[in-house]
Amino acid sequence: MLDRYKNIIDNELEKYCKELPKLTIYKPIKYILQLGGKRFRPSLTLLATDLFCGDPLRSIKESIAIELFHNFTLIHDDIMDQAPLRRNHPSVHQKWDVNQAILSGDLLYSLVNKLLASSPCQTIEIHQLFQQTAIEVCEGQSLDIEFEKKEDISLNEYVKMIQLKTSVLVACSLKIGAIIGGARLKDANLLYDFGLNLGTAFQIHDDILDIYPEKEGFGKQIGGDIIEKKKTILLIELLKNSSQEDHKSIQNILEDSRLENNFKVAKIKSYYKKYRVLDIAEKTKKIYFDKAISSIAKINISNEKKLLLKEFAMTLMSREF
């Protein structure tokens, strides 16, 4: 149901890229923007504006700014994660170098701010919300890096981290769209909560899909998070609940670089089964999903539109988005 908005975003981004200066440092920016992507966040901005005023294009500048900001974080995160690929193509630091990736990311963030400062819809409220969100996204990324080295992470800490790193930008995308659509502050905040909780549920869903995919195949490594020793909700709960003996074995398996990947994944998966961590993850996901759904009911829009939001939330959680 977001396809219509995605097309608008894709067209607008193409125009935007064409108008960028010819200087070398703009090349990585054009490159990453043209790698495609779901355009999930900016589509939500247009959707939210559409919900309240029927004219999604009113928030077109802000939606593009949000997509640019997301891509800025991807360029810098890929450096930090030493990720060689982004959307099946070389990441920016791989195709150019780390310096060009740092600098083109910085430039991209400046372009975001310029775009926001040139919008006819700008308000102090939007500027403040956006910049507070940007701060939180950086804080979330820093927690993610910290967690890599940390032994015990609580479920609360994990949820806080994914909310900062991912969900606040989804929530902000919706709220900015709502404000521009003329929503009352109460409704804009409800949409923010919807986005925050749905984003959280989706991130947990994503952790689950990595090891329990709905469809196998497509050449994607099942259990990639295990191989990377990523602190997913499953691993966090496993480390917390396992017996002392199993805990030690699990650590050994994760650290053993001689083990074959599929074997490693299968071994950890058997521990997941033993300690029923999938149940814990599914339950946690449901808590946040239900919170998201309950926000919808309170928003001052037609029942038809509420149904639309609910369907969107369900589609998001039911497929490999």
Q: Given candidates 1, 57, 85, 98, which one binds its own copies under the rule CB under 8 A?
A: 98
Our finding on whether 117 is near its own copies (CB under 8 A) is yes
Choose between 122 and 189: whose C-beta lies nearer to its own copies.
122
d(CA 134, CA 112): 11
Our finding on whether 149 is near its own copies (CB under 8 A) is no
Q: How far is CA 244 from the centre of its chain?
A: 34
Which residues between 74 and 93 bind its own copies (CB under 8 A)? 76, 79-80
Our finding on whether 124 is near its own copies (CB under 8 A) is yes
Q: In which region does residue 97 sit, left (phi positive, over 0), alpha (psi from -120 to 50) or beta (all else)?
A: beta
Our finding on whether 132 is near its own copies (CB under 8 A) is yes
Count of residues in the chain: 321
d(CA 51, CA 65): 20
**H or E stretch including 210?**
helix 185-211
Our finding on whether 102 is near its own copies (CB under 8 A) is yes
Stretch that binds its own copies, among 107-115, 153-161, 229-237, 293-301 (CB under 8 A): 107-115
Our finding on whether 154 is near its own copies (CB under 8 A) is no
Our finding on whether 106 is near its own copies (CB under 8 A) is yes
Choose between 8 and 164: whose C-beta lies nearer to its own copies.
164
Our finding on whether 141 is near its own copies (CB under 8 A) is yes
Q: Given candidates 17, 83, 121, 138, which one binds its own copies under the rule CB under 8 A?
A: 138
* Per-position x/- string for 282-321, each x denoting binding to its own copies as judged by CB under 8 A, each - no binding: ----------------------------------------
Choose between 114 and 229: whose C-beta lies nearer to its own copies.
114
* Residue 19 CB, nearest approach to its own copies (Å): 14
Distance set, CA 37 to CA 70, 86, 172 (Å): 11, 10, 19
* Residue 125 CB, nearest approach to its own copies (Å): 9
d(CA 226, CA 210): 9
Choose between 85 and 98: whose C-beta lies nearer to its own copies.
98
* Residue 189 CB, nearest approach to its own copies (Å): 19
DSSP string over 222-284: TTHHHHTT---HHHHHHHHHS-HHHHHHHHHHHH-TTS-HHHHHHHHHHHHHHTTHHHHHHHH
Q: Given candidates 7, 11, 34, 128, which one binds its own copies under the rule CB under 8 A?
A: 128
* Per-position x/- string for 41-80, each x denoting binding to its own copies as judged by CB under 8 A, each - no binding: -----------------------------------x--xx
d(CA 36, CA 87): 8
Nearest to 202 by CA among 239, 165, 245, 238: 165
Choose between 125 and 290: whose C-beta lies nearer to its own copies.
125
Q: Quick one: three-class SS letters along 70-127?
A: HHHHHHHHHHHCCCCEECCEECHHHHCCHHHHHHHHHHHHHHHHHHHHCCCCCCHHHH
Our finding on whether 94 is near its own copies (CB under 8 A) is no
**H or E stretch including 33?**
helix 27-33
* Interface contacts to its own copies, rule CB under 8 A: 21, 23-25, 76, 79-80, 98-100, 102-103, 105-107, 109-111, 113-114, 116-118, 122, 124, 127-128, 130-132, 134-135, 138-139, 141-143, 145-146
